[in-house]
A and B are shown apart, each in its own frame.
Chain A
Amino acid sequence: MMRFIRSALVIARRDFSATVLSKAFIFFLLAPLFPLLMGGVFGGIGARVATQTERPVVAVIATQADMNRLAAARDRMAQAIGDEALVRIVGFPPEPDLAAQQKHLLASRQPPVRAVLSGGLSHPHLTGALGGDPATIAQLKLLIANARSTELALPPDVEVTNVPLSSGSMIRDRAVTAQIGEMLLFFLTILLSGMLLSQLIEEKSNKIIEVIAAAVPIDAMFVGKLFAMLAASVLGIIVWISAGAVIIQFMKHGGVATLPPPAVGWSGFLILSIVYFAMNYLLLGSVFLTIGAQASTVREVQTLSMPVTFAQVLIFGFAAAAIGNPDSTEGLAAAIFPLSSPMAMLARAAERPEWWPHLAAILWQTIWVALILRIGAQLFRKTVLKSGPRVPWWRFGRA
C-alpha cells in the first residue's frame, strides 16, 4: 500500500508541477475573468439593443377621463408587480371612423401596436393579434376592473414591522444558497474536470506510458493524475474564491456576512463545499479519465468533449431536483446516485442542519471513486495496453 501511495505521489507531483509551473496556468487562473468580461460586453450590447427596440403597446382609444383612470390603475399595479411585467398602454382620442382608426393603429410602427382597446371602460373591446397571449388579455381585464372601482383604487394602509428572519425568508434564502452552491459546484467541475479527458494523451503520444506502466501500477497512475489535477484545481479555486470574497467585501455593504446563511452554518458549509467539490471532481474526473484514456489523439478527445459536457448538464439537472426539498424521492435519488450525489448533498447542507447524512454520503462517494478508478485502470490495461488473458465481455471486471 505504501508503494502504491508513493507511486501515485510521484505521478501527482510531476503532473501538478507540469500544470502549475506552466505559463498556461496563468491563463487558467484568469479564466473566470473571461466570462465576466464577455458578460459585460454582451450585457452592454443587449441593453443598447433593448433601449433601441421599442416594446409593443396596447393602444387605448378612450376619452381623456377613462385614459387617466386606466393609467392610474396601471401605476398602482406596477408598484405591486413591477413595471416591466405589466402591459404598456398608450392613449388615443376617439376619431369618427373607429374601424379606420383601429386599422391605422394596428399598422403603426411608432410605437408598434399589438392590440387596440376601444369602447372605453364601460364597453371594452380588444382587437389585435393576441391569440397566443392570454396574459395580456388577463392583465387588461384587471386594469379595467381596477380603473372602474373606486374602492380598489385606494388600497388600505398596512403597518409594517420588519424582523431580520422568519421561517419563510430562511427557507427562501437557504434555497438560494443551495442553488448558488450547486451551480458553483457544477460550473467549477465542468470547467476543470474536462481537462482530465486529455490527461493521458501526453503520456501516450510521447511514449513515456511504457516506462510508467513498467514501474507503477496503472491504478496508482490514475490516482496520481486525478489528485494532481484536483490539487491544481483547488489552487485555482482558492485564488478565485479569495478574489471573489475581496470583491464582495468591497462592493456589498456588510461584506460576505450578509449572504443568506446555510443550515449547517457558514463554516460547515464552506468545509462541505470543499469536500463535495473534491468528491464531485474525483467522481466525474475518474469517469473522464477512464473515457479519455481510451482516446489516442487530441481529435478523439475533442470529439468526446461534447457528449461528456451534455452528460454533465444532465447530471446537474438531476441534482437540481434536490433544491427546495432534499427529502423528496427525487432529492434522495439525486443524493444516492453517485455522480449527482456531491451536488445534491451540498444543496442539502444549505437546507438541512443534520451532519450524519454528509458523513454517510462522503463514504459512499469515496467507495464509488475507488470503484470507478479500479474499473478505469482495468479497462486501460485491457483495451490500451492489450493486457491479460482473453476474457469474455460478460466476465469483465473479474479478470
Chain B
Amino acid sequence: MLRQAQPERIDERFAVQAIDLVKDFGETRAVDGVSLEVPTGSIYGLLGPNGAGKTTTLRMLLGIIDPSDGTRLVLGRNRPLDAAPEIGYLPEERGLYPAMHAREAIAFMGALRGLPLPEGRRRADALLAEHGLADWAKKPIRTLSKGMAQTIQLLGTIIHKPRLIVLDEPFSGLDAINQARLEELIRREARAGATIIFSTHVIAHAERLCERVAIIAKGKVAFDGGVDEARARLRPVVRLHTRASDGPWRSAIPSNARKEGGEWVFELPPGGPEPLLKALIDGGAGIETLAIERPGLHEAFVSIAGDATAAEMGREKPE
C-alpha cells in the first residue's frame, strides 16, 4: 500500500526524506525499505555496488517511477514532479538528441524544468563560454566528443538553477581532468545553496565530496549519516615498529594485533594513545616508528557493508 506523506511530517531541514521505500520488479525486490534524510544544502552520497538499488532509489525520489510501498518527500512535496522545476537530474545513462545543437539542448533541458527558452539560451551561452565550449554552441550533439556531450548534459542539469541536484554516477565515463572539474562544479553549486545527491560506487569521490552518505547494499540502507560518523564507527589503527622483539611491553599490545611486514597493526585501545605510549616506553619496546591512522571511508564501508560487498566494489575500478 502506497502511503501519502502527511503535511506535519514536512521538515524544511531536509531537502529529501524517504521513509521505508520499497520497489518490486516482478518477483524481485530491488529496494527494500530504504529510509533517508538528506539535509538541505548538503552534498549527500549514495554509496553501493552496482545493482545495490541506488538508481532505483533515485528514480523513485524523482518521481520517474512510483514506489511499490513507502513515502517520499522531495523539497516538501510528496509528488516529486510537483517540485520538478526546482530539481536538476543527470541520469546514469546519458542521453541527448543527437541532431540538436549544444546550446539548444541545454535550453531544452531548462525548458523541460520551466525555464523560458530565451532565458535558457542566454544562460546556455554563458555556461558554454565558462566551460570553454562557446565554439561548440551551434554544433549538433552528434559531432561532440563523449566528454563534451556529458558536459553539455551536466550544464543542462543546472541551467535552471535548481535547489536540488541529483546526479546518478556522474563521474562515470569522465577522464581525470573532467572528474576534477565536475567535483569543483558540485562544490560550487553546494556553496550556492543547492542540495546535491549523487550516487557512486567509487568511495574516493564520496570521501572527497560528501558531508553525509548512505551506504546501500542489497536494496537496504546499511548506514546513513555523516562521513566522520561513519569513520568514527571504527577505532583508529596503530602501526608500530619496535627495535625489541619481545619484552614486558608486549602486554600493551592487544591480543588480536597482527604482524604486517615487521610491524604490529592493531586498533587503538579504548584508553587512547597516552597509556599505550607509556606502557611501550616503560616496557622497553624501543619505538622505531609509531603511526596512529584514522580509518578511511573505505574501511568504514567494509565494516558496515561487509567484506563481500566491499570486495564487489573493489572490483569496479574508478573511472
In the bound complex, do residue A216 and residue B112 qualify as a contact, i.e. CB atoms below 8 Å apart?
A: yes
Min Cβ gap A10→B in Å is: 5
Indicate whether A327 reaches chain B with its CB closer than 8 angstroms: no
Interface size class of B (residues with CB under 8 A): 35 or more
**Stretch of A78-86, A186-194, A364-372, A383-391 on the interface side:** A383-391
In the bound complex, do residue A206 and residue B87 qualify as a contact, i.e. CB atoms below 8 Å apart?
A: no
Indicate whether A211 reaches chain B with its CB closer than 8 angstroms: yes
Indicate whether B51 reaches chain A with its CB closer than 8 angstroms: no
Within B12-65, the residues touching A (CB, 8 Å) are: 24-25, 59, 62-65
CA–CA, A7 and B99, complex, Å? 21
Indicate whether B94 reaches chain A with its CB closer than 8 angstroms: yes
Contact of A206 among B63, B89, B96 (CB under 8 A): B96
In the bound complex, do residue B1 and residue A215 qualify as a contact, i.e. CB atoms below 8 Å apart?
A: no
In the bound complex, do residue B65 and residue A18 qualify as a contact, i.e. CB atoms below 8 Å apart?
A: no
In the bound complex, do residue B68 and residue A215 qualify as a contact, i.e. CB atoms below 8 Å apart?
A: no
Min Cβ gap B224→A in Å is: 23
Indicate whether A381 reaches chain B with its CB closer than 8 angstroms: yes
Indicate whether B301 reaches chain A with its CB closer than 8 angstroms: no
CA–CA, A250 and B89, complex, Å? 58
Can you sample 22 A-B contacts with CB below 8 Å?
Answer: A6-B114, A7-B112, A10-B112, A14-B100, A14-B108, A18-B97, A18-B99, A18-B100, A207-B95, A208-B95, A209-B95, A211-B112, A212-B112, A214-B59, A214-B64, A214-B91, A215-B109, A215-B112, A216-B84, A388-B65, A389-B1, A389-B66
Indicate whether A217 reaches chain B with its CB closer than 8 angstroms: yes
> Which A residues lie at the B interface, using CB under 8 A?
3, 6-7, 10, 14, 18, 22, 202-203, 206-217, 381, 385-390
In the bound complex, do residue A389 and residue B95 qualify as a contact, i.e. CB atoms below 8 Å apart?
A: no
Contact of A387 among B66, B93, B99, B100 (CB under 8 A): B66
Indicate whether B228 reaches chain A with its CB closer than 8 angstroms: no
Indicate whether B113 reaches chain A with its CB closer than 8 angstroms: yes
| Cβ–Cβ < 8 Å partners of B292 in chain A | none
- A399 to B, closest residue via Cβ: B66
| Cβ–Cβ < 8 Å partners of B111 in chain A | 10
Indicate whether B193 reaches chain A with its CB closer than 8 angstroms: no
In the bound complex, do residue B81 and residue A206 qualify as a contact, i.e. CB atoms below 8 Å apart?
A: no
CA–CA, A386 and B23, complex, Å? 10
In the bound complex, do residue A215 and residue B89 qualify as a contact, i.e. CB atoms below 8 Å apart?
A: yes
Other 12 A-B pairs with CB < 8 A, given A206-B98, A210-B91, A211-B95: A3-B85, A14-B108, A206-B97, A211-B89, A211-B91, A213-B64, A214-B59, A214-B63, A214-B91, A216-B81, A216-B112, A390-B24
Question: Which of B63, B111, B114 has the most CB atoms of chain A within a 10 A radius of its CB?
Answer: B111
- A interface SS class: helix
| Cβ–Cβ < 8 Å partners of B108 in chain A | 10, 14
- B62 to A, closest residue via Cβ: A214
Min Cβ gap B8→A in Å is: 24
In the bound complex, do residue A14 and residue B109 qualify as a contact, i.e. CB atoms below 8 Å apart?
A: no
Within B149-183, the residues touching A (CB, 8 Å) are: 153, 156
| Cβ–Cβ < 8 Å partners of B68 in chain A | 388-390
CA–CA, A214 and B85, complex, Å? 10
| Cβ–Cβ < 8 Å partners of B76 in chain A | none
| Cβ–Cβ < 8 Å partners of A209 in chain B | 95
Min Cβ gap A396→B in Å is: 14
Within B256-272, the residues touching A (CB, 8 Å) are: none
Within B96-153, the residues touching A (CB, 8 Å) are: 96-100, 108-109, 111-114, 153
Indicate whether B69 reaches chain A with its CB closer than 8 angstroms: yes
| Cβ–Cβ < 8 Å partners of B59 in chain A | 214
Contact of B91 among A14, A18, A207, A386 (CB under 8 A): A207
Contact of A388 among B62, B66, B95, B100 (CB under 8 A): B66
| Cβ–Cβ < 8 Å partners of B91 in chain A | 207, 210-211, 214
| Cβ–Cβ < 8 Å partners of B2 in chain A | 389
In the bound complex, do residue A214 and residue B95 qualify as a contact, i.e. CB atoms below 8 Å apart?
A: no
Indicate whether B219 reaches chain A with its CB closer than 8 angstroms: no
| Cβ–Cβ < 8 Å partners of B65 in chain A | 381, 385-388
CA–CA, A272 and B97, complex, Å? 37
| Cβ–Cβ < 8 Å partners of A385 in chain B | 64-65
| Cβ–Cβ < 8 Å partners of A389 in chain B | 1-2, 66-69
Min Cβ gap B160→A in Å is: 10
CA–CA, A257 and B7, complex, Å? 66
| Cβ–Cβ < 8 Å partners of B63 in chain A | 214
With A18-B97, A211-B91 known as contacts, the answer to whether A217 contacts B81 (CB < 8 A) is yes
CA–CA, A396 and B258, complex, Å? 61
Q: Which 4 A-B pairs have the closest CB atoms?
A: A207-B95, A387-B65, A208-B95, A215-B112
CA–CA, A7 and B89, complex, Å? 16
| Cβ–Cβ < 8 Å partners of B67 in chain A | 389
In the bound complex, do residue A214 and residue B1 qualify as a contact, i.e. CB atoms below 8 Å apart?
A: no
| Cβ–Cβ < 8 Å partners of A7 in chain B | 112
| Cβ–Cβ < 8 Å partners of B156 in chain A | 211
- B58 to A, closest residue via Cβ: A214
| Cβ–Cβ < 8 Å partners of B66 in chain A | 381, 387-389
CA–CA, A387 and B85, complex, Å? 21
Question: Which of A3, A212, A215, A388 has the most CB atoms of chain B within a 10 A radius of its CB?
Answer: A215
Q: Mark B188-226, 1 if CB is under 8 A from A, else 0.
A: 000000000000000000000000000000000000000
Min Cβ gap A386→B in Å is: 6
CA–CA, A389 and B1, complex, Å? 7
In the bound complex, do residue B89 and residue A214 qualify as a contact, i.e. CB atoms below 8 Å apart?
A: yes
| Cβ–Cβ < 8 Å partners of A215 in chain B | 84, 89, 109, 112-113
In the bound complex, do residue B112 and residue A207 qualify as a contact, i.e. CB atoms below 8 Å apart?
A: no
| Cβ–Cβ < 8 Å partners of A3 in chain B | 85, 114
| Cβ–Cβ < 8 Å partners of A18 in chain B | 97, 99-100
In the bound complex, do residue A210 and residue B64 qualify as a contact, i.e. CB atoms below 8 Å apart?
A: yes
CA–CA, A206 and B108, complex, Å? 15
CA–CA, A208 and B94, complex, Å? 7
CA–CA, A3 and B84, complex, Å? 10
- A207 to B, closest residue via Cβ: B95
| Cβ–Cβ < 8 Å partners of B87 in chain A | 214
CA–CA, A390 and B23, complex, Å? 9
Min Cβ gap B155→A in Å is: 13
- A213 to B, closest residue via Cβ: B64
- B24 to A, closest residue via Cβ: A390
- A11 to B, closest residue via Cβ: B112
